[in-house]
Structures are given as structure tokens and as C-alpha cells.
Amino acid sequence: MGKYLKANWQKVALLIFLMAITELFTVLASVFNANSLNALVAHNLKNFFYQILFLLLVWVAVIFFSYLVANYTQIVIQDIDISIRHHITKKNRKIIL
């Protein structure tokens, strides 16, 4: 399995990077959520609405990157699967010939 991951290391690295970006935005959403609650408790409605707006934008980014990760994961899995199938058929040809 390791040799197939090494053969597709760029795709796997990009996938890990996209996952990290998604998690970064999720943490950022938690920070904006806490800041919005602090602004609401302090009766600072202007800051509260700014924090909610930023929170909405961050969640849009989370949804976008989650969509990218889900689709790109399938692409990487298919490419690794094709590599495995190619290796198996190559072995079988040597056995037959």
C-alpha cells in the first residue's frame, strides 16, 4: 500500500492540505462563535452582527472546502485503485507469458 501512496504522493499531499484548511476554518468558526457570544453578553450589537457575518462567511468556506475534500478524495481513491489494478494486470501478464 505504501508504494501506491508514494506513487501518488502529490495528490495525497494536496488532499491532506485541503483537509487541514477545512479544519482551520472550522476552528476559526468556533472563535467567531465565541466572539459573537461575548459581544452579545456585552450588549454590543454592532460587533455581534459583524461576528455573525464573519461566522456565516467562514461556514460558507467550510462547506466549500468540505465539498472539495469529498470530491477530491474520490478522485485520489480512483487513481490509487487504477494504479493497483495496473500493477495486478502487469503481474498477471508476466505469469501468463
The pLDDT, as a whole number, for residue 96 is 65
Average pLDDT over residues 3-29: 93
> Do residues 86 and 93 make contact, with C-beta atoms less than 8 angstroms apart?
no
Q: How many domains does the chain have?
A: 1
pLDDT tier at 97 (50, 70, 90 boundaries)? low
Q: How far apart are CA 49 and CA 43, in angstroms?
A: 11
pLDDT value for 25: 97
Q: Which residue has the cell 456565516?
A: 56
Closest CA to 4 of 90, 97, 80: 80
CB burial of residue 93 (10 Å; 0-12, 13-18, 19+):
exposed
Question: What pLDDT digit, counting tens, does each position of 70-95 carry?
Answer: 999 999 999 999 989 988 888 776 66
Q: What is the pLDDT of residue 90?
A: 81
Q: How buried is 34 (Cβ within 10 angstroms: 0-12 exposed, 13-18 middle, 19+ buried)?
A: exposed
For 41-74, write each residue's pLDDT tens digit: 999 999 999 999 999 999 999 999 999 999 999 9
- Collapse the DSSP code of 97 into the 3-class scheme (helix H, G, I; strand E, B; otherwise coil) and give the result: coil
- Closest CA relative to residue 74, chosen from 27, 26, 11: 11
Higher pLDDT, 15 or 91: 15
Per the structure, the complete domain to which residue 19 belongs is given by 2-96
